[in-house]
Structures are given as C-alpha cells and as structure tokens.
C-alpha cells in the first residue's frame, strides 16, 4: 500500500541541494515505479522551481523507460508473436501515455473495410489490389517523401494520425492488416529498404521460396518480382543472399524500427535518445533461453 503522505513529502525534497538526500529520495520514489507517476506529473504542474521540475521530469522518464524495457523484454522472451504489440511497445518510448486501443481499433477498421469488399475467390493479385485501394485511396496512407528522416515516421500512433510513414511503418500496418485477413503477406528485411512478400505455402515447390511476388508499401503497394530484387541488390553491390528474399522475424522488424529511430535521432544530435534506443536494441540481441 502506497503512503500518499510519504510520497508527497518525498517529492517536495526532490529539489534538496544535498546530493545524499536527493539520491535517497530519488531511489525511494524510483522503487515505487509507475504507481507514483501520476503524483509526480501533478507535482510537476504545480512546481515553480526549475530544478525540481527538471528532477521530476527526469524521474518520470526513468520510471517509464524502465517499464518499457521490461515490457520489451517480456515481448521478446515470450516469443515475439504479436508484431503490433512489439511496434506499440516501441511507440511508448516517445509516447508513454499512448492509447494503444485507439491504434488497434483504427487498424481493425481498415481490416473490416477490406473484409467487407473481399471476394472469397479473389486471387492473390486481386487481394492486394483491394488492400491497396482501401489502404491508399480510401484511408489515404502514403510514404513521407517530404520528411523521410523524421523519427515520427517510425511511431505507429503518428503514422495512423497523419497517414504518412516510412517503408517499415507502412509495411508493418499493411502486413498486420493482411495477416488479420488470413492473407500471407510478410516482411522482407532488405538493406536500405523494407518490402513485403506474398507467400503461397502450398506452392513452395513451384515458386522461389514460396514467394509469389513482392510489394512496395512505400510506393502505393506496387507489385514486383524477384528480378527487381536482384537488380536492387546489384545496384548496392551485394550478393543475392537467401535472407534478402525470404520473410524475416518480428524481432528483426522491431530491430529495424529501432535502428531507423537511432539513425533519425543521430541526425538531430539527440544523444540521450540514441543511447536509450541502443539499450532497447540490446534487449533484442540477447540470447533467448
């Protein structure tokens, strides 16, 4: 049971000039975790002292970042089965008060719109054509070509709100919707680009790696073939290794999101964010027992 009187007294001591007292108060409040965040945020709004405000803000972030690391760790070691959950966990790095259900409901509304129009006997190409129509024409999603390096492009809540994203955020939403409709579309982790592949598991013996075709979600769902991937890799002077053509894991996708964010924040010299994002990336590099 949290003692509210004690919490209030501790918060008032956050601006104490004595480092030993501050460290004790900081550690005590930190031990309460997310249970004291609301009170800390209220104290921040009431505080007039700049030092106290800064220390409160730093402590709130410290608590939320610790919770975020724990959540990402649980997702990873739990099998990383839910790609949307992984993306929303990363989203909470910048937006800790994220209303996850709002994003989930929005994605569900897109899926429902496609489902209502989908014919039972639609071919893979027809399925993708319909997804493209709903996703790009009705809901208005597109690649953010004007400000491609903006870190907001990697946060699903912002992509859903603005309908603008980068290759991987658009691909995540697109593939999640497809998979909810039992359409086998999965991520392909190409260097310098992220695409999707339509997999026909029943035809693996007749098609290369079971891939019927590839999809570029950054270019309005443009469909292309293996030769185009070959050409792309040749332009980068890379050998056509097998993993460039086959679906990657959910963990690889979330790692790619984190690397995109690191690159974006490096360009703005946000060193603290870069350091913290590397901590998140390190969690996904740990061996799963």
Per-residue pLDDT reduced to its tens digit, 110-164: 999 999 999 989 999 999 999 999 999 999 999 998 888 899 999 999 999 999 9
Q: Is the pLDDT of residue 218 over 90?
A: yes
d(CA 5, CA 51): 22
Q: Is the pLDDT of residue 234 over 60?
A: yes
Comparing 215 with 41, which gets the higher pLDDT?
215
Per-residue confidence (pLDDT) for residue 287, from 0 to 100: 66
Q: Is the pLDDT of residue 57 over 50?
A: yes
Strand partners, 196: 187, 215
Per-residue confidence (pLDDT) for residue 288, from 0 to 100: 57
Give pairs for 281-284: CB < 8 Å, separation 24+. Answer: 281/255, 283/69, 283/72, 283/73, 283/76, 284/72, 284/76, 284/251, 284/254, 284/255, 284/258
Per-residue confidence (pLDDT) for residue 289, from 0 to 100: 53
Q: What is the DSSP letter of 209?
A: G
Q: Where are the domains of the chain?
A: 4-77, 83-283
Q: Is the pLDDT of residue 208 over 70?
A: no
Segment 22-38 shows an average pLDDT of 85
d(CA 200, CA 24): 59
Q: Is the pLDDT of residue 172 over 50?
A: yes
Band of the pLDDT at 4, cuts 50, 70, 90? confident
Write down the mean pLDDT value for the chain.
91
Band of the pLDDT at 8, cuts 50, 70, 90? confident
CA-to-CA dists, residue 133 to 61, 106, 127, 136, 157, angstroms: 41, 17, 10, 6, 22
Q: Is the pLDDT of residue 81 over 70?
A: yes
Per-residue confidence (pLDDT) for residue 30, from 0 to 100: 87
Per-residue confidence (pLDDT) for residue 227, from 0 to 100: 92
Question: Which parts of 52-160 are beta strand (E)?
Answer: 142-143
Half-sphere exposure (Cβ direction) of 129: Cα atoms closer than 13 Å: 6
Band of the pLDDT at 2, cuts 50, 70, 90? low
Per-residue confidence (pLDDT) for residue 109, from 0 to 100: 97
d(CA 9, CA 133): 58
Band of the pLDDT at 205, cuts 50, 70, 90? very low
Comparing 202 with 18, which gets the higher pLDDT?
18
Segment 67-87 shows an average pLDDT of 97
d(CA 42, CA 142): 39
pTM of the predicted protein model: 0.90
C-alpha 106, offset from chain centre: 16
Band of the pLDDT at 238, cuts 50, 70, 90? confident
Q: What is the DSSP letter of 81?
A: -
Q: Is the pLDDT of residue 245 over 50?
A: yes
Per-residue confidence (pLDDT) for residue 44, from 0 to 100: 82
Q: Is the pLDDT of residue 206 over 50?
A: no
């Amino acid at each position: 049971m949290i003692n509210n009187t004690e919490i209030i007294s501790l918060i008032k001591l956050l601006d104490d000039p004595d480092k030993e007292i501050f460290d004790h108060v900081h550690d005590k409040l930190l031990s309460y975790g997310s249970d004291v965040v609301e009170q800390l945020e209220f104290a921040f709004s009431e505080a007039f002292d700049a030092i106290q405000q800064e220390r409160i803000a730093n402590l709130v972030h410290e608590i939320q970042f610790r919770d975020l690391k724990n959540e990402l760790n649980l997702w990873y070691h739990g099998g990383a089965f839910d790609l949307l959950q992984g993306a929303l966990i990363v989203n909470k790095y910048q937006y800790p008060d994220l209303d996850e259900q709002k994003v989930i409901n929005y994605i569900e509304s897109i899926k429902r719109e496609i489902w209502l129009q989908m014919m039972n006997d639609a071919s893979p190409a027809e399925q993708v054509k319909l997804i493209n129509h709903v996703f790009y024409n009705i809901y208005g999603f597109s690649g953010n070509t004007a400000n491609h390096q903006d870190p907001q492009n990697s946060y699903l809540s912002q992509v859903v709100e603005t309908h603008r994203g980068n290759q991987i955020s658009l691909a995540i939403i697109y593939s999640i919707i497809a998979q909810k409709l039992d359409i086998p579309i999965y991520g392909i982790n190409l260097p310098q680009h992220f695409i999707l592949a339509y997999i026909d598991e029943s035809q693996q013996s007749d098609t290369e790696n079971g891939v019927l075709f590839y999809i570029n979600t950054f270019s309005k769902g443009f469909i292309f073939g293996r030769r185009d991937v070959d050409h792309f890799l040749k332009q980068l002077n890379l050998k056509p290794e097998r993993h460039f053509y086959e679906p990657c894991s959910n963990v690889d996708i979330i790692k790619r999101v984190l690397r995109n964010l690191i690159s974006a924040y490096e360009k703005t010299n946000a060193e603290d964010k870069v350091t913290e994002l590397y901590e998140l990336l390190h969690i996904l590099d740990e061996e799963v027992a």
